[in-house]
Structure 1
Amino acid sequence: MKAMRDAWGEKLVELGSSNPRTVVLDGDLANSTKADMFARAHPDRFFQMGIAEQNLIGAAAGLASLGYVPWTSSFTVFFTHRAIDPIRMLVAQSHANVKIVGSYSGLLIGAVGKTHLDIQDLAIMRAMPDMTVLAPADNTELLAMMDWANEVEGPVYLRIVRDPVPDVVKPGYTFVPGAVHELRQGTDVVLVGTGPQTGRLLVVHDQLASAGVSAAVVHVPCLKPVDADGLRSLLAGHDLVVTAEEHTVYGGLGGLVAETLTTGGPAPRIERIGINDTWGESAPNDFMLDKYGLSAERISARVMSSLGVSEEPCVSA
């Protein structure tokens, strides 16, 4: 499987070849984010801004005002924490045509260091007026989102991860902002995911099926805007809704689902799986997923417990 950061870098090169107004601004991390692919292919439209993310965003807004399509590249935490004021003032409030790409997002960069973990970004960017918020499940969805974002006018926040991820959506997928997708049907519980966590929920679906539990799986790739009626329709008729995300349980996917369901009337039981008001840590990926309850095995066990099913699910190899 190809790492998502490699897929993103290759697609940037393609966008730069098809649109001469596409430019990239990087925060001294191009060899990590793979924006260096664009630098080699289109050196005259690549700007190395150094470790100065606030200035990077300001320059991107300026380039957008001249008709360019700036893609900004850095680790997620440096955009959503260090550069949040210029994002708010110069990009969102002015509806600048800037594409903010938060790489190394979520929980699984423990090897990089605890300080680089960002598990609040979706909540921060969801609360930002005039900001589209995207979290692709796999590389196919990522590429479709990038095609869409390069053509649409306005701010876009795209959350991507470092490592390879399994295929989730079908070839030929077309991204539609706000759309939600039912990947599996089921009657006992509905599992709701975003980003690469959705791929783990497909494994959960199979584990639960081996124990006689029928689980639906719903994928939410666009956290803002979202088709609220479509989401309510896919979750309707289920007594138990379980959300799972590499993010704090506050303000991200779980918050979105709870807001959507409770706004529409009486809501089913909602369980939010994520990081429970704590910081991450420096540790291997499998350890992090298990500790924070996001591995397929931990989610399966929690769903079985919530449903009162005593049998252990069959764990896949």
Structure 2
Amino acid sequence: MIASIAAEGQATRPAPFGHALVALAKERPEIVGMTADLSKYTDLHVFANAFPDRFYQMGMAEQLLMSAAAGIAREGFTPFVTTYAVFASRRAYDFICMAIAEEALDVKIVCALPGLTTGYGPSHQATEDLAIFRALPNMTVIDPCDALDIEQAVPQIADHKGPVYMRLLRGNVPAVLDRYDYKFELGKAKLVRDGADVLFVSTGLMTMRTLEAAEELAKDNISAGVLHVPTLKPLDVETILREAGKPGRLVVTAENHTIVGGLGEAVAGILMRARAMPSGFHQIALPDAFLDAGALPTLHDRYGLSTRAVVEAVKARL
């Protein structure tokens, strides 16, 4: 069973990654799909059904998966490799580092269950993956918000020369950004909504939550803006400085990741080095701890990722 992050009645699109990859592969014969026994759970089964002769099932052997992808990339192909984020960041990290990143090979690593998107507990919750891959030289790091973000990111990461790590929302993925005339651009942060009192600087599914929180805050005459940062590396320093450096606003970073080494610390570092720290700064992130197992709505409330928790955190600091 795939737990959904969509709210009841929220518009969704099925398997946006799988369908976007199929559409691209029709025009790009060098694209292949590879996985470690997880095609069904990373939406790569859509690609496997469309291009069975370009799909490689490597079994439960993530290190082998990454090494084989490196070899295929050396032969001129563009492998899209899928697994769970915990397996890529913990189990296969050294193989990604030595076989792919050091050689700057054209391998796209797309991983499901990022952060707190499963209730299975620490064995499957990749709460530190952004910190791990942001620290890896040559690696581009993407954390999309919704179905539109994923669909538009796929062809751009395929065009990008070098390795990419992209977090994946799978199954029926919410469609949120369509209503904001949003377009994904690799390496660019986008001001999705402006506001005078609060600026959320968010990434991944937390952009979904901060947009919802902004609407709730507006009911109390609190004007909140949302700067979506889908590319964690390289960061769009210019846009972050321009928006977060504006005076008179509380700046709140929000991420589905541990408070250590992710978006919040990266933004704080940018502002500190530019001597542009706002008068109010707060991080919304997961704690530096192994998290509980349970139902996702309960866990998101417990660890501060729910819309209600975001609203309460902002009100407590205004």
**TM-score bracket for this pair, using the shorter chain length:** over 0.9
**1:171 Cα offset (Å):** 8.0
What are the equivalent positions in structure 2 for 1:145-164 lying under 5 Å apart? 145-162=153-170, 163-164=172-173
* Equivalent AA in structure 2 for residue 97 of structure 1: D
For residues 90 and 295 of structure 1, the distance between their equivalents in structure 2, rounded to whole angstroms, comes to 38
Report 1:296-315 matches (<5 A): 296-307=307-318
Counterparts of residues 62-101 of structure 1 (less than 5 Å): 62-101=71-110
Deviation at 1:281, TM superposition (A): 2.1
Q: Does 1:265 align with 2:285?
A: no
Q: CA deviation at 1:221?
A: 0.7
Q: TM-score, normalised by structure 1?
A: 0.92
In structure 1, what is the Cα distance between the partners aligned to 2:63 and 2:273? Answer: 36
Asked whether the equivalents of residues 157 and 186 of structure 2 are also in contact (C-alpha less than 8 Å), the reply is: no
**1:249 alignment counterpart:** 259
Alignment-mate amino acid for residue 251 of structure 1: G
Note the alpha carbon deviations across 1:31-76, whole angstroms, 9 max, x for none: 1112111111111110000111011000001000000000001111
In the alignment, which residue of structure 2 is the partner of 1:288?
299
- Secondary structure of 1:116's counterpart equals coil
- Report the secondary structure of 2:239's partner residue: helix
Contact 1:141–1:169, Cα closer than 8 Å, also in 2: no
For residues 229-253 of structure 1, give each alpha carbon's deviation from its aligned partner in whole angstroms, at most 9, with x where no partner exists.
Answer: 2111011224421111110011111
User: What number of residue pairs does the alignment pair up?
Assistant: 305
- What residue ranges of structure 2 are gaps of 5+ in the alignment? 1-10
Check conservation: 1:137, 1:199, Cα contact below 8 A: yes
Aligned partners of 2:155 and 2:187: how far apart in 1?
Answer: 16
For 1:267, what is the secondary structure of its paired residue? coil
Task: Give 2:271's aligned amino acid.
Answer: L
Say which SS state the counterpart of residue 247 (structure 2) adopts: coil
Deviation string 1:87-134 (CA, Å, 9 cap, x unpaired) is 111111100000000112120211x44411111011111111111111
> Structure 1 residues 239, 123: closer, same or farther in 2, change over 3 A?
same
Range that drifts further, 157-166 or 243-252:
157-166
- Distance verdict in 2 for CA 1:139–1:119, change over 3 Å: same
2:190 and 2:291 map into 1 onto residues whose CA distance is: 29
Q: 2:50 aligns with which of 41, 62, 87?
A: 41
Distance in 1 between the 2:221 and 2:180 partners?
30
Shift of 1:30: 0.9
* Contact 2:180 2:192 (C-alpha < 8 Å) held by counterparts: no
CA distance in 1: counterparts of 2:166 and 2:202, whole angstroms: 16
Report the CA distance between 1:172 and its aligned residue.
7.1
Structure 2 CA distance, aligned partners of 1:116 and 1:169?
A: 30
The alignment's C-alpha RMSD in Å is 1.6
Aligned match of 2:199 in 180, 190, 197?
190
**Residue aligned with 2:26, SS:** helix
Q: Which residue of 1 aligns with 2:128?
A: 120
Distance in structure 1 (CA, Å) of the matches to 2:190 and 2:259: 21
Q: How far off its partner does 1:150 sit?
A: 1.2
Shift of 1:159: 0.6
Tell me whether 1:209 sits opposite 2:218 in the alignment.
Answer: yes
1:228 to 237, 240, 250: 237
Question: Matched residue of 2:123: which SS?
Answer: helix
Equivalent residue, structure 2, for 1:143:
151
How many Å apart are 1:228 and its aligned residue?
Answer: 0.6
Question: Offset at 1:164?
Answer: 2.2
AA aligned opposite 1:250: V
- Within 1, Cα distance between the matches of 2:180 and 2:210? 20
Percent identity between matched residues is 38
- Give the deviation of 1:183 after TM superposition: 1.4
Q: Under a length normalisation based on structure 2, what TM-score does the superposition of the two structures give?
A: 0.92
Given the alignment, which residue of 282, 286, 298 partners 1:275? 286
Stretches of structure 1 lacking an aligned partner (at least 5 in a row): 308-317
